[in-house]
Amino acid sequence: MECIFVFIFQFKELAQAYEVLSDPEQREIYDQYVEDALKEGMGGGGGMHDPFDIFQSFFGGNLFGGGSSRERMQRRGEDVIHSLKVSLEDLYSGTSKKLSLSRNVICSKCNGKGSKSGASTKCAGCQGTGMKFSIRHHGLSMIQQMQHPCNECKATGETINEKDSCPQCKGEKVIQEKKVLEVNVEKGVQNRQKITFPGEADEAPDTVTGDIVFVLQQKDHSKFKRKGDDLFYEHTLSLTEALCGFKFVLTHLDGRQLLIKSIQEK
């Protein structure tokens, strides 16, 4: 019997699936899993298992956004990642930075419907699903169906009559809003630390809003170098200083003036 297996998932999951399928040990477990699932499905008189369920149980519940069936699948918006440059002083003493960002929010006038009457027509490009499909063949027995957002309706699955479009958002369902976020950089945090603002990314209808993530990026310091939790400071001595003793003042990252002197210096 030849079994044609159709599965749909997005790029992220595809990568995850690929990892499993390309690892021989994992692959064996997976093959056994699918075989068992198919046997079970055909023996019980209830027809074959939904291939989605097989994938979902195997790769974990979050494959389709947390639900256990396709009906409950809800799209999740993209996370927005910004890099935030900070000085070594900022990381040493902690700081807080206010950043103004513009984001899409659901139009308040039409509640994200895009039309005055609330009416919309099903998008012809995707039959209202918001997704378009393309098929890729893997050998003889496997067909992979890829999904991508419909460009004709911006993945909303519906189009709006021009005359009926909402005057505030012009049928776009969302409007741009400026928002100030205060990023608190805690004292002593590491370079590349992530600071997340959950659900603050672009809003879209029927979509779980993604996060805004700031990744701290430490600027080079002219005097100090950081290695883990230690600070290194390089100071050049003259030959006389090296032989007869020295002292100098070092300004620390928090502005303190520290007197550094050699043992022989009185």
Residues in the site for Zn ion, rule: CB under 5 A? 107, 109-110, 123, 125-126, 150, 152-153, 166, 168-169
Closest CA to 61 of 118, 13, 18, 96: 13
With respect to Zn ion, which residue has the nearer C-beta, 115 or 209? 115
Q: Which is nearer to Zn ion, 91 or 169 (CB)?
A: 169
For residues 162, 166, 170, 173, the Cα torsion angle rounded to the nearest 10 degrees is: -110
State in angstroms the smallest separation of the CB of 160 from Zn ion.
10
Q: Least separation, in Å, of the C-beta of 65 and Zn ion?
A: 19
Residue number, 41 or 125, with CB nearest to Zn ion = 125
Q: What's the min distance (Å) between Cβ of 129 and Zn ion? A: 7
Amino acid letter for position 68? S
Six token digits for residue 207:
């979509």
The answer to whether the beta carbons of residues 202 and 77 sit under 8 Å apart is yes
CA angle 183, 181, 88 (to 5 degrees): 25
Select 166 or 201, whichever has its Cβ closest to Zn ion.
166
User: Does residue 261 contact residue 246 with C-beta atoms inside 8 Å?
Assistant: yes
To the nearest whole angstrom, how small is the minimum distance from the Cβ of residue 117 to Zn ion?
A: 12
Q: How far apart are alpha carbons 61 and 177 in whole angstroms? A: 34
Beta carbon nearer to Zn ion, 17 or 153 = 153
Please identify which residue in the block is written with the tokens 């520290």. Answer: 258
Smallest distance from Zn ion to CB 122, Å: 8
